[in-house]
Structure 1
Amino acid sequence: MFFETAGIEIAPWIPPLVAFTISFFTSMGGVSGAFLLLPFQMSFLGYTNPSVSATNQLFNIVAIPSGVYRYFREGRMVWPLTWAVIIGTLPGVFIGAFVRVAFLPDPRHFKLFAALVLLYIGLRILRDLVLKSPEGSDKTTAEKRFQYLVRQHRNKIDARLTEDSEPLPAVKVTQFNLKKIGYDFYGEHYEAPTWGIFILSFVVGIVGGIYGIGGGAIIAPFFISFFRLPVYTVAGAALMGTFVTSIAGVSFYQGLAPFYPTMSVAPDWFLGILFGIGGMGGMYLGARCQKFVPAKAIKWMLCAVILFTAGKYIAAFWGP
């Protein structure tokens, strides 16, 4: 099948299959998987036009709701954190989309910049993983308790999730103002500076707008390594923020298209939807399985995919 906007030809079953596989694993760490679809499209499909960024964000729009729904049903959405991410990220997304089209149409240049950003984040997570805690585990008391409750009450939890009941009370918000966001997670208290979240989200929005990765691949590791928030509560907020900002990004790229008639700027809608359909299934299953996977394993997975992507970008820049 030929995709006119992307200028590529590929069997229609490949995009959803690839997206399903990527999203299943990355969604466990609050990442949509779009940052891995980007090198796949550029390296394997030969899709290098600026519209690839918009197509990636279209994937987010279709795929993310299933994962967010699962986190919501399990009561693991920290809404103040989510809204802070959305408010901070939106302005950055518009700036990033403009920068991508006007100043970084060359795929080699934006690959290198993305590699430097992702390399720093991946090394930061790797450093945290290598420097083990005195107890030899990276799990907080809350995370251990969460795993214990899952093991002891798995049947009860699954039964409740099949009914029309309220979300499980895993998260309880205790504070939300311009100074601080605070919440309890199974009896353990966590805090993060509101302005720190805003500033981080703004920068992430610019990067996400340029590369069409939504920002989850960047913001989730920062929440984990810098703000010391548990991965079980970060994932839902990162995915929801990525979903909302991806809508804004796709709309802006579509709006910019008439001003660049000689350049492919608007998303390839059919290709993006095919990716999204596969990602939808992968994210739902990934969100469902996340609570059964140790936090350390999720961090190692997140670190590995980020460093792998950075390496691919650097290799592409220095290669022929």
Structure 2
Amino acid sequence: MVFPTAGIEVAPWVPPLVAFVISFFTSMGGVSGAFLLLPFQMSVLGYTHPSVSATNQLFNIVAIPSGVYRYWKEGRMVWPLTWVVVVGTLPGVLIGAVVRVAYLPNPKNFKLFAAAVLLYIGLRMVQDLLKKNTGGTAKADAEKRFQEMVRRHRSLASQAGGHGSPQTLPSVKVTHFNTRRLGYTFYEESYDVPFWGIFALAFIVGIVGGIYGIGGGAIIAPFFVTFFKLPVYTVAGAALMGTFVTSVAGVAFYQALAPFYPTMSVAPDWLLGILFGVGGMAGMYLGARCQKYVPAKAIKWMLAAIIVFTAVKYIVGFFY
């Protein structure tokens, strides 16, 4: 099957299958699959036009809603945090789109930028995994307590014939939100972060995500957990929702830029992006269902290895 915008020919079952496999494993580790999908498009399919970033964001648009719905249903969406992320990343992702088209149209230069992003994410994951290996932390203990509560809830729901109440699980409760601070409680713990610190981070991540075509969720979530000490159970939903909204804006902006660059492929390949998205949606759903059967540490080590390997490959390819 020929995809004219992408300038490639590939069997129609390949994009959804690849997206399914990537999303299945990455969703177990709590990481978006978009940052791995882009190297596949560039290195395997040979899709190196600037429009590959927009197509990658189209994948986010189709695949993410099911994950956001799951977090919302479980009461783990921190909506003030979500909206700060959205407002901060939106202008950033538009700037990133302009930078991608105007300054990084050359595939070789873009691969070097992509390598830097992937290397950062991979090394950050390795660092977090090594920290966890040094012993139990308060955050890890809290996560274990939460997981134990989830297991008890499932057991009670099973005994009740599947009619357990989701309200028995801990949910997010916002305590204050203004232009200075954001605070909320989760599982009897209080969290407080600076408004402008979150906004500045979201803006920078928006630029990077707009260039790379990942929406920024894979970058902003580790920052929230590592630097702002927010629990991963409440960060994932906000990061996903922010990625979804900024991806919508990114796709629209790339589409709007296309007429100004008639000799360059800028607009997304809609059919290819939707095929990736359908596979990603199914992969995220099944990955979340199967997560409890696979050790999270093994999955994250696997992801870190893939990311670092891809980054190193791009760096070596740039110089040789």
Q: Under a length normalisation based on structure 2, what TM-score does the superposition of the two structures give?
A: 0.90
Q: What does 1:64-75 correspond to in 2, within 5 Å?
A: 64-75=64-75
Q: Name the residue aligned to 1:216.
A: 217
Q: Name the residue aligned to 2:148.
A: 148
Which of 178-187 and 45-54 deviates more? Answer: 178-187
Q: Name the residue aligned to 1:275.
A: 276
Secondary structure of the residue aligned to 1:175 is: strand
Q: CA deviation at 1:205?
A: 0.6
Checking the alignment, whether the CA contact within 8 Å between 1:138 and 1:295 is kept in structure 2 is: no
Q: Name the residue aligned to 2:122.
A: 122
Quick one: structure 1 residues 309 and 171, their matched pair in 2 at CA, closer, same or farther if it must change by over 3 Å?
farther
Provide the alpha-carbon RMSD of the alignment: 2.6
Cα distance in structure 2, aligned partners of 1:193 and 1:160: 44
Secondary structure of the residue aligned to 1:46 is: coil
Checking the alignment, whether the CA contact within 8 Å between 2:35 and 2:118 is kept in structure 1 is: no
- Is 1:44 the counterpart of 2:44? The answer is yes
Identity %: 75
1:26-70, CA deviations, whole angstroms, 9 ceiling, x for partnerless residues? 234443311111110010000001110110011111111011111
Quick one: structure 1 residues 305 and 218, their matched pair in 2 at CA, closer, same or farther if it must change by over 3 Å?
farther
Amino acid at match of 2:75: G
1:55-108, CA deviations, whole angstroms, 9 ceiling, x for partnerless residues? 001111111101111111111211111111101000001100011111110111
Quick one: structure 1 residues 70 and 290, their matched pair in 2 at CA, closer, same or farther if it must change by over 3 Å?
farther
Q: Name the residue aligned to 1:237.
A: 238
Q: What does 1:152-167 correspond to in 2, within 5 Å?
A: 152-156=152-156
Q: Report the count of equivalent residues.
A: 319
Structure 2 runs not aligned, ≥5 long: none
- Is 1:31 the counterpart of 2:27? The answer is no
Q: What does 1:94-113 correspond to in 2, within 5 Å?
A: 94-113=94-113
Which of 227-236 and 51-60 deviates more? Answer: 227-236
Q: Name the residue aligned to 1:82.
A: 82
Amino acid at match of 1:4: P
Cα distance in structure 2, aligned partners of 1:229 and 1:109: 35
Which of 69-78 and 4-13 deviates more? Answer: 69-78
Structure 1 runs not aligned, ≥5 long: none
Quick one: structure 1 residues 2 and 306, their matched pair in 2 at CA, closer, same or farther if it must change by over 3 Å?
same
Which of 66-75 and 21-30 deviates more? Answer: 21-30
Cα distance in structure 1, aligned partners of 2:77 and 2:291: 14
Q: Under a length normalisation based on structure 1, what TM-score does the superposition of the two structures give?
A: 0.90
Secondary structure of the residue aligned to 1:131 is: helix
Checking the alignment, whether the CA contact within 8 Å between 1:142 and 1:185 is kept in structure 2 is: no
Secondary structure of the residue aligned to 1:140 is: helix
Q: CA deviation at 1:259?
A: 0.5
Secondary structure of the residue aligned to 1:101 is: helix
Checking the alignment, whether the CA contact within 8 Å between 2:156 and 2:164 is kept in structure 1 is: no
1:167-194, CA deviations, whole angstroms, 9 ceiling, x for partnerless residues? 9542222222222222222112222222
Q: CA deviation at 1:292?
A: 7.2
Quick one: structure 1 residues 112 and 48, their matched pair in 2 at CA, closer, same or farther if it must change by over 3 Å?
same
Checking the alignment, whether the CA contact within 8 Å between 1:51 and 1:264 is kept in structure 2 is: yes
Secondary structure of the residue aligned to 2:5 is: coil
Which of 157-166 and 225-234 deviates more? Answer: 157-166
Which of 180-189 and 213-222 deviates more? Answer: 180-189
Quick one: structure 1 residues 51 and 285, their matched pair in 2 at CA, closer, same or farther if it must change by over 3 Å?
same
Checking the alignment, whether the CA contact within 8 Å between 1:19 and 1:37 is kept in structure 2 is: yes
Q: CA deviation at 1:117?
A: 3.2
Checking the alignment, whether the CA contact within 8 Å between 2:153 and 2:168 is kept in structure 1 is: no
